[in-house]
Structure 1
Amino acid sequence: MRLIESAMIVFAQRGTGVSVIPEVIAAAGVSQGSFYNYFRTNDDLLVAVSEALSHDMVQMIESVVGEIEDPALRVATGIRLYLHLARSYPVVAQFLSSTGLSVVGKKSAVYEYLPSDIKEGLKTGTFDETLADVALDLVTGAGVIAVHRMATGRTTKDYPEQIVRGVLRSLGVSASRANKLTSSSLPKLVASPESLLEKAQEKLAAKAEPSS
């Protein structure tokens, strides 16, 4: 977990275009031999971070949306929570922004539940069936861009809701319903102290503190 926490920060700061292994080893304070007991390549690290981050985020989001029957409300609430989590934990936004499409499909939270929710929405006529082949791409693309914008610049308080309304409209939901689906208050999700989100955020904050 120390390696995964350190890798998340290094990926957040360096992206995926260079080998991060030496930096991760140094940041985690382990030997090269210890590192290679667990991972062999950059991609191994990226998959491990994506899996751990997805697990943490999905657990928190599903605790809210798991009981929602309406697929449109489930999609809207899930994406809103995802974006607000990314905003609350800058290390998450930075990691997702720096790795971008590299993490899509690598056990990412987006691909954990969204396909079945979108498929249900298409089956029930909640979403426009002519968009069946591109629905997941529309949602994923909007999410990637939204997180990048939040990580690299200032956004309005309701920016996640604006994005979700746009996603819903692109899936064939009417403007009035899209507004209604994104107008309810959300519970504030707080990660466990032992979660990757909290541990990596603590390390990032400590790294940013000036040494005495």
Structure 2
Amino acid sequence: MTSAAPVSPAVDPRTAAAAIRRARMRERLLEAVLDLYQPGQGSGSLVIDDVIRAADVSRGSFYKYFESLDAAVNELGERMTADMIADFRRLFDDGEAPLVRAVGGSIMAMVRAWHDPRWGGFTCRVDYVDYFARASMFDLIVRDALATARSGGQMVFRSLDVAVDLIVGMTIEGRRRLLLRSVAPRAYIDEMIERTFTGLQVKPDALEQAVARAWSVIMEAAPGLDWWRPGDEGCIS
């Protein structure tokens, strides 16, 4: 006697449709938050009223999905930090030299701001910077690259916290400047990297090689990066 395989219950079309509507509404609210976090949009401190007005929904609709504006900002922060970590690991895995990883991560963050202004605009807002400071996974990646480069004699600094803050602060200010479209991006990024890592006492020849390798990796991966804008390669020519 054989037993028949269990049959999966059919999905109720109404349940599926409701789930799709909920997902779309959640995305609509997050898109409104993202739009409001762009340079020149809103005031220095956004409130829920700004979001519901931009999304054209009721206050009750917002609270069905998020308990507060901070909760929505944190969800966007989680997504963007996860994207950043995924791209970093894809481009600069453990096979790359620590100095290349440290330099490459900094270049990648600034290049993405040039190609993806909405991402750059959001990640420069103080709310996201505060969230980023709590995102221990990426913090550990940055710390590991810097600590390993120091132990290998490629950098010199006393405090790892100072080195991390220097790198993160540089990329934030770099993104803000690049969003203004007021500089030649490749030249600007290269000088930011040079001045910052020279401050960490990286030898000029080693830094030049690391920068060249980092750009080579980014250029090779560019066609497969979902935020890369085709036709905007001029920023790294």
1:63 has 2:107 as partner: no
> 1:179 is matched with which residue?
208
Distance 1:107 1:132, change over 3 A: closer
Structure 2 length normalisation: TM-score?
0.70
Q: Deviations over 1:65-121 (max 9, x none)?
A: 114331111111111111111110111222233437444414388536212222222
- Structure 1 residues 141, 189: CA separation in 2 closer, same or farther (over 3 Å shift)? farther
Give the CA deviation at 1:164. Answer: 1.8
Instruction: Output the CA distance in 1 between the equivalents of 2:146 and 2:43.
Output: 30
Structure 2 residue aligned with 1:8: 34
Query: Kindly, what percent of the aligned residue pairs are identical?
Result: 22
Aligned residues: 195
Is 1:144 matched with 2:148? no
Unmatched 5+ stretches in structure 1: 202-212
Q: Which residue of 1 aligns with 2:61?
A: 34
Q: Is the 8 A contact 1:51 1:106 kept in 2?
A: no
Cα distance change of structure 1 residues 92 and 189 upon mapping to structure 2, 3 Å threshold: farther
CA distance in 2, matches of 1:109, 1:3: 26
CA–CA distance in 1 between the matches of 2:93 and 2:66?
A: 34
- Distance, in Å, in 2 between the alignment partners of 1:155 and 1:122 is 32
Structure 1: distance between partners of 2:137 and 2:37: 17
Equivalence for 1:18: 45
RMSD between aligned residues: 2.8
Kept in 2: contact 1:74–1:117 (CA 8 A) = yes
What residue in structure 2 maps to residue 111 of structure 1? 139
Distance 1:152-1:164 versus aligned 2 partners, 3 A rule:
same
Question: For 1:38-53, what aligned pairs fall within 5 Å after superposition?
Answer: 38-53=65-80
Higher relative contact order (CA 8 A, sep 6+): 1
TM-score, scaled relative to structure 1 = 0.78
Q: Structure 1 residues 141 and 147, CA, compared in 2 at 3 Å: closer, same or farther? A: same
Tell me, which stretches of 5 or more residues in structure 2 are unaligned?
Answer: 1-26, 230-237
